[in-house]
Structure 1
Amino acid sequence: MAEDASSAPLTNISWEDKAWLQAFPLNQTTVLDYFSHSQFYDRTCINEQVKMQRGLTAEDMEDMVVRMSGVEYVLHHAHEVPPSADSTAHSLYVILKQVRTYRPSSTPQLTPDRYYYVLDGVAYEVPSVHAVLSERLMRLGWLLNSAFEGLAAAASAEQKANEGEGALQPHVK
């Protein structure tokens, strides 16, 4: 089954908006707004629908989100290292794309879809565990194959050297 463009993994690309970063601080409060400008962001998500509602208090927005279904982005983790005399500031933000399903009789069902991270202003999609393990196993296979080829070449060279000395010549009585 083919995936559509909006659900295809984008793990081989990164995104950065230097103009935005020069104009605004990147922190826990602004990272979702920054991320919303990237190609990773689904502009039909709940976050955008709530953004369009002007004049709502934070409580009103929260009440609105609880009764909605669809894709939602949330800040899952933030790690900010302030600048010091020896180094510049660094930041890591992990953003979760999840599917929220409204259920009137109970709490909403939240299903994780993808993770993204913003490292020092550059956004990336986190590859799936399957993709990481597949790549590692393919590399391991290549390394093992190279090792076996090296062993075979060394054994062949040693055999030729021994044949020249007569070590493997048949003994005749």
Structure 2
Amino acid sequence: MDVTPLDELQWKSPEWIQVFGLRTENVLDYFAESPFFDKTSNNQVIKMQRQFSQLNDPNANVNMSQNIMNLQDGKNGNLEDEFAYVDPARRQILFKYPMYMQLEEELMKLDGTEYVLSSVREPDFWIVKKQRRINDAGAGNSRGPKIIPLQDYYIIGANVYQSPTVFKIVQSRLMSTSYHLNSTLERLYDLIEFQPSQGVHYKVPIDTSSTTTASTNGNNTGGGSNKNSVRPTGGANLATVPSTTNANMTVNTVGTGGQTVDNGAGRPGNGNMGITTEMLDKLMVTSIRSTPNYI
């Protein structure tokens, strides 16, 4: 049977939350119900000891709260010295929530795997850290126990996740990079074209908008073939455009055949506007009205 890796698993228990609710005081109890929790950890050992021992002292929480108030007022520095090995963020959690300070004091007596609450961002985000504690009895209390981090877990809302390892993160990034590079190369292969005269080259992308404009201008220019028509006065050297046309455009008669061509005066860049569609239409009307002499 295939087992889903823990770093790909998402777990939640709406039934448990409906009965007990989810808050910082009981988030470790909620985490203990998930498949990420190790039943052989020190947390489970302490939980079993609390169930079968007479540790239900009603004054325990009162005394712990009094110690925290004294620490905040600067009257008692014993607790701060006792938890000097704990990082400042988790130390604030211990001082704010007495049950976690009591749990830490009991974990300090054991060696092995344990779970602690390392970060709190109420009301919907917590980080649980799995670590291995090694108490060095010969080093004294000044150095404190040796803590080896093993894993981090995120509780977001009602969902519990295991943080991925660095290997998994790098592997995922490399696979994503490889996929996008492969897709890019496939698209580049589609742009390669071979012609015997030019060899291998890339196709030039065609802009559909410019192609449509060029096609329209080409059709209009084709209608300008009427300007190369035979004028009725075959011997004339100069034919002027009727007054209905643009005065800036002139047509010269070339040769004895009387064919007329544009002398370039109306081309763009010569100071005059180019031949427009309106000009060509007027030339065509003029050509139709005339009576050419066919040779």
When the two structures are superposed, what TM-score results if normalisation uses the length of structure 1? 0.76
Match of 1:168 among 173, 179, 198: 198
* Count of residue correspondences: 147
Pairing 1:146–2:183 present: yes
Which residue of structure 2 aligns with residue 72 of structure 1? Answer: 114
Matches within 5 A, 1:78-157: 78-81=120-123, 91-104=124-137, 105=139, 106-155=143-192
Going from structure 1 to structure 2, the CA distance change for 1:14 and 1:154 (only over 3 Å counts) comes to same
Aligned to 2:24, the other structure's residue is in SS state coil
**CA separation in 2, counterparts of 1:67 and 1:35?**
22
CA distances 1:57-96 after superposition (whole Å, capped 9, x unpaired): 4676544321211111011111124xxxxxxxxx011110
**1:108 Cα shift?**
0.7
**CA separation in 2, counterparts of 1:63 and 1:30?**
18
Going from structure 1 to structure 2, the CA distance change for 1:33 and 1:69 (only over 3 Å counts) comes to same
Which residue of structure 2 aligns with residue 25 of structure 1? Answer: 21
**CA separation in 2, counterparts of 1:66 and 1:148?**
58
* Relative contact order, higher structure (CA 8 A, sep 6+): 1
| Identical aligned residues as a percent | 31
**1:52 Cα shift?**
2.1
Counterpart residue type for residue 102 of structure 1: N
Counterpart residue type for residue 162 of structure 2: E
**CA separation in 2, counterparts of 1:125 and 1:62?**
23
**1:140 Cα shift?**
0.4
Larger Rg: 2
Larger strand fraction of residues: 1
Larger helix fraction of residues: 2
**CA separation in 2, counterparts of 1:92 and 1:9?**
23
**1:167 Cα shift?**
4.4
Aligned to 1:30, the other structure's residue is in SS state helix
Moved more, 14-23 or 63-72: 63-72
Match of 1:11 among 7, 12, 19: 7
RMSD over aligned Cα, in angstroms?
2.2
Counterpart residue type for residue 31 of structure 2: F
Aligned to 1:35, the other structure's residue is in SS state helix
**CA separation in 1, counterparts of 2:110 and 2:5?**
25
| Alignment gaps of 5+ in structure 2 | 61-98, 200-295
**CA separation in 2, counterparts of 1:62 and 1:11?**
27
Going from structure 1 to structure 2, the CA distance change for 1:145 and 1:22 (only over 3 Å counts) comes to same
